[in-house]
Structure formats: C-alpha cells, structure tokens
C-alpha cells in the first residue's frame, strides 16, 4: 500500500514537475533570434520576387522615424545612393542606385522589406549593403562588424517610410 505524502510535499513535487514541463516547452520552442541576436524571418516567393511577408518585430514601423533613418548619414544613409524627391530638403542625393520615387508602387511591402534586409537576394551585383545581416559580408566597417546596420524595428521604420513613396 502506498504511503500518502503530506499535502505540502505534494505541492512541491507537482510544482517541480510543472516547472520542468514548462522549461521543456520553452526550450523546445523555436528560437526567436540567431546567435547574433537577429530576429529569424522567413523568405517566400520565387527568385526575383523574394519577400519577407511578416514584420521582423510583430509591429508596424513608424514612417517619421523611418524618414529620419533614411537621411541619417551614419545609419540608413539611403541618400548616399538614391535620389528621393520628397527629401529634396536634404543635400547630396546619390545617383548610384535607382530613384526611390514611386518604389511603393513597383514592389509589395514584403519585397521591400526583403530589399532592406538583404538587397543581394534581388540584385546579386548591387553595391547596396545588407541592412539586417551579419554573415557572409565583405569589407564591413569596423563599427558594424558582428552587428547589423539597422535593428529589426529600424527595418520596419524604414519600410514604413518607403511605403509612403508612391507616385501622386
């Protein structure tokens, strides 16, 4: 015949098993970030139509913050290569990349997110740096070695700004 444990001991044992089960659930759950702290994302679509459909952060970006990043010469620095008419108040628009005017009419949001994250998926010979990648890069500026140029939320913010760039 089994000997009954006093109630406080039962609670401890049951609590321990519950904690172990909970811990196993969380360990078995897919990781939300890679070893560099980058949010994992899924690339969909056929070649030249690649997209990252879901937000990297689970929330929408802020186009005002995205505009600030696009003109920030030490962060997004979009104007180093692209001309953008709505940013005509900013000096020195680049001519290396295509104009971003109307880009939101030409591509879907998931495609634009993919282009911000890693443009080389679309155009392998591009000079545009991957904004949210740390592996497989060459000639990385020291301050960005081992970390992305933009954070996941900054990618979403730049995307929100770029989505405003439609032909009127």
What is the predicted pLDDT for the residue at 145? 72
Residue recorded with tokens 């994250």:
117
- 2 pLDDT more than 50: no
CA distance 41 to 20: 29
12: left (phi over 0), alpha (psi -120 to 50) or beta: alpha
Among 4-8, 140-144, 155-159, whose mean pLDDT is lowest?
Answer: 4-8
H helix or E strand, kind and range, residue 109? helix 109-118
- Closest Cα partner for 163 from 86, 92, 90, 93? 86
37-94 residue pLDDT tens: 789 999 999 877 899 999 999 999 999 999 999 999 888 889 999 999 999 999 999 9
What is the predicted pLDDT for the residue at 24? 36
For 8-38, b where at least 16 C-beta lie within 10 A, e where not — what string? Answer: eeeeeeeeeeeeeeeeeeeeeeeeeeeeeeb
- Closest Cα partner for 123 from 157, 81, 159, 94? 81
- 11 pLDDT more than 50: no
What is the predicted pLDDT for the residue at 123? 86
95-150 residue pLDDT tens: 999 999 999 999 999 999 999 999 988 888 888 888 888 776 666 667 677 788 89
What is the predicted pLDDT for the residue at 137? 66
CA distance 48 to 27: 36
- 4 pLDDT more than 80: no
Distances (CA, A) of 28 to 15, 24, 25, 34, 80: 20, 6, 5, 15, 44
Q: Which position has the higher pLDDT, 166 or 36? A: 166
Q: Which fold has domain 63-162?
A: Cytochrome Bc1 Complex; Chain D, domain 2 (1.10.760)
What is the predicted pLDDT for the residue at 19? 38
Residue spans of the domains in the chain: they are 63-162
């Amino acid at each position: 015949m089994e000997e009954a444990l006093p109630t406080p001991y039962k609670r401890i044992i049951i609590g321990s098993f519950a904690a172990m089960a909970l811990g196993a659930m969380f360990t078995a759950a897919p990781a939300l970030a890679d070893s560099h702290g980058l949010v994992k994302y899924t690339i969909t679509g056929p070649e030249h139509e690649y997209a990252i459909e879901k937000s990297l952060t689970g929330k929408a970006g802020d186009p005002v913050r995205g505009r600030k990043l696009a003109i920030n010469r030490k962060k997004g620095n979009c104007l180093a290569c692209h001309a953008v008419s709505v940013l005509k108040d900013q000096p020195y628009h680049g001519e290396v990349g295509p104009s971003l005017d109307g880009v939101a009419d030409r591509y879907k949001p998931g495609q634009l997110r993919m282009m911000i994250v890693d443009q080389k998926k679309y155009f392998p010979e591009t000079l545009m740096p991957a904004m949210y990648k740390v592996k497989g890069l060459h000639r990385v500026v020291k301050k960005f070695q081992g970390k992305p140029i933009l954070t996941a939320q900054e990618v979403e913010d730049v995307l929100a700004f770029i989505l405003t760039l439609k032909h009127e």
